[in-house]
Structure 1
Amino acid sequence: MPKKLGIHAGNRVLLDGAPAGFALDELPADVVLHRRNAPGLYDVIVLFCPNSARLRRRWPALHRLTPPAGALWVAWPKRASGLTTDLDEAGVRAFALANGRVDVKVCAIDATWSGLKHVIRVQDR
């Protein structure tokens, strides 16, 4: 999973709102993993959003915590997960585009969560 999320040796990574028991196995060397914000920027952030209210609430702060070339993943519950949500891929994509980021990759984070990777457009960095 770390490779799929674009996590490389020496990266600072934030798992914001990760569910209990969620773990990233086999992290590259010297990765610093946080589950709560700490001072400084993160190379990769994974924002777990069970609903659009959390996405709207957390996005502004997390958007500012990535460097220009950093990645902000938004994860939402898959339809088959059994979790109730008002989010889907199209809604997450539209929200990010309206808020300064473009999606560049989609993946299954695990059996429950799907994710879209968002970056700042190269010309806007």
Structure 2
Amino acid sequence: MIASVIEPPGDYQRLLGHVPIGVMFVARTASHLDFAHVFVRERATLGRHLQDLRGRIRPSGMIWVSWPKRASGIPTDLTEDVIRAEALRHGLVDVKVCAIDATWSGLKLVVRLRGRG
């Protein structure tokens, strides 16, 4: 699995935990990604990242978007609904949501079936 992480928090290794054998982390500009994890705080940044990543993930790949929870105290203009709407603009749909920790939430995005060509 080829993976890339964009703008991770300082404690990302702790958040991630055990990395399975076969996962290879590559530079944020690599293509043919199976997995991308992007941490964002602003809608404008989210749009740029999704546009970029949509062109670099494999049709069967995934993008996890993480954003600060409101209770975290980190300023953000993102919500789950904002991320879903922005994802749709880029041909992506959400298939899973999770709480990563007390600070971050996560939404898993995949390419829409009709866009997998």
Q: Give the TM-score normalised by the residue count of structure 1.
A: 0.84
Q: Do structure 1's residue 27 and structure 2's residue 19 form an aligned pair?
A: yes
1:123 is displaced (CA, Å) by 2.8
Q: Tell me the number of residue pairs that the alignment of Structure 1 and Structure 2 aligns.
A: 114
The structure 1 segments of at least 4 consecutive aligned residues displaced by more than 3 Å after TM superposition are: none
Structure with the higher strand share, 1 or 2? 2
1:124 is displaced (CA, Å) by 2.3
Residue of structure 2 in register with 1:48 after alignment: 39
State which of 1, 12, 15 in structure 1 corresponds to 2:2.
12
1:30 is displaced (CA, Å) by 1.8
Residue of structure 2 in register with 1:113 after alignment: 104
Q: Which runs of 5+ in 2 are unaligned?
A: none
- Output the CA distance in 2 between the equivalents of 1:56 and 1:120: 15
Query: How many percent of aligned residue pairs carry the same amino acid?
Result: 43
1:62 is displaced (CA, Å) by 1.1
- Output the CA distance in 1 between the equivalents of 2:74 and 2:102: 12
Q: Which runs of 5+ in 1 are unaligned?
A: 1-10
- Output the CA distance in 2 between the equivalents of 1:81 and 1:91: 18
Residue of structure 1 in register with 2:67 after alignment: 76
Q: Give the TM-score normalised by the residue count of structure 2.
A: 0.89
Aligned-pair Cα RMSD in Å:
1.3
Residue of structure 2 in register with 1:4 after alignment: none
1:38 is displaced (CA, Å) by 4.3
- Output the CA distance in 1 between the equivalents of 2:97 and 2:114: 22
